[in-house]
Amino acid sequence: MVSSSTTEHILELLRQVPDPEIPTINLVELGVVRRVEEVNGQLKVIITPTYTGCPAKQLFVDLIREQLTASGYPDVAIEMQLYPVWSTDWLSEETKTKLLKTGISPPVAQNAPVVCPHCGSKETKVVSQFGATPCQALYTCSSCREPFSYFKCH
Ligand SMILES: [Zn+2]
């Protein structure tokens, strides 16, 4: 018999798994881990990759599997749910603030200016659509002239 405290415990364990690309953010904060549920005694972790072409997709599964196995939950199923598609709207304000402190400009609505994480200027321009990872674009700030990454998935 699985109690709701077990699913809560698993969620807690997954909060300790950092995103491979942005280690200051964990997989639950990032919204990759959607929920933990129990169906007919089978525990399941439902995940949504940050975007379908994200090369970290399999890595998320491996990291979750590793953490759960190490914590005594080797039988938990990991299910990929592609719809609704991951959206940066799932990031909380707190998570966006953390991104900013990491030097990564958090996602903004389409056509809104990308803000420089160093000085807060909106005078920024894209240098390359592909930054440190495919999920990030490389920008430069016209005010402080510092380059920075923009988290661009959707
Ligand atoms: Zn700046």
Could you read off the pLDDT of 52-79 as tens digits, one per residue?
566 667 888 999 999 999 999 999 999 9
- Is it the case that residue 51 has pLDDT exceeding 70? no
Query: Nearest 5°: phi and psi at 136?
Result: -120, 150
Q: Does the structure show a pLDDT above 60 at 31?
A: yes
pLDDT confidence tier of residue 136, bands split at 50, 70 and 90: confident
Kindly give the distance from the C-alpha atom of residue 123 to the centroid of ligand 1, in angstroms, as a whole number: 8
Ligand 1 centroid to Cα of residue 125, in Å, is 11
Rounded distance from Cα 50 to ligand 1 centre (Å): 27
Q: Which residue has the higher pLDDT, 52 or 33?
A: 33
Per-residue pLDDT, averaged over 85-98, amounts to: 86
Q: Find tokens 């920024």 and name the residue.
A: 124
Query: Does the structure show a pLDDT above 80 at 10?
Result: yes
Distance in Å, CA 144 to ligand 1 centroid? 4
pLDDT (0 to 100) of residue 82: 84
What is the 140 CA–ligand 1 centroid distance (Å)?
8
**Ligand 1 center to 17 CA (angstroms):** 31
Pair 45, 78: CB distance under 8 Å:
yes
136 C-alpha to center of ligand 1: Å? 17
Topology (CATH) of 4-86: GMP Synthetase; Chain A, domain 3 (3.30.300)
pLDDT at 152: 74
Q: How far is the CA of 143 from the centre of ligand 1 (A)?
A: 5
- The percentage of residues in the chain with a pLDDT greater than 70, rounded to a whole number, is 91
**Structure letter (DSSP) for residue 88:** G
Q: What is the pLDDT of residue 110?
A: 67
Ligand 1 center–CA 102 separation, angstroms:
14
Position 127 scores a pLDDT of: 92
Mapping DSSP to helix (H, G, I), strand (E, B) and coil, where does residue 94 land? helix
pLDDT at residue 130 in the model: 77
CATH 3.30.300.130 domain residues, the chain: 4-86
The count of residues in the chain is 154
Provide the H-helix boundaries in the chain.
4-14, 27-30, 57-70, 93-101
Q: Say how many Å lie between the CA of residue 91 and the centre of ligand 1.
A: 23
Instruction: Spell out the long-range contacts of 33-40 with Cβ–Cβ below 8 A and sequence spacing 24 or more.
Output: 33/64, 34/81, 35/11, 36/7, 36/8, 36/10, 36/11, 37/7, 38/2, 38/6, 38/7
What is residue 33's predicted lDDT score, i.e. its pLDDT? Answer: 94
Q: Given this model, what pLDDT does residue 131 score?
A: 73
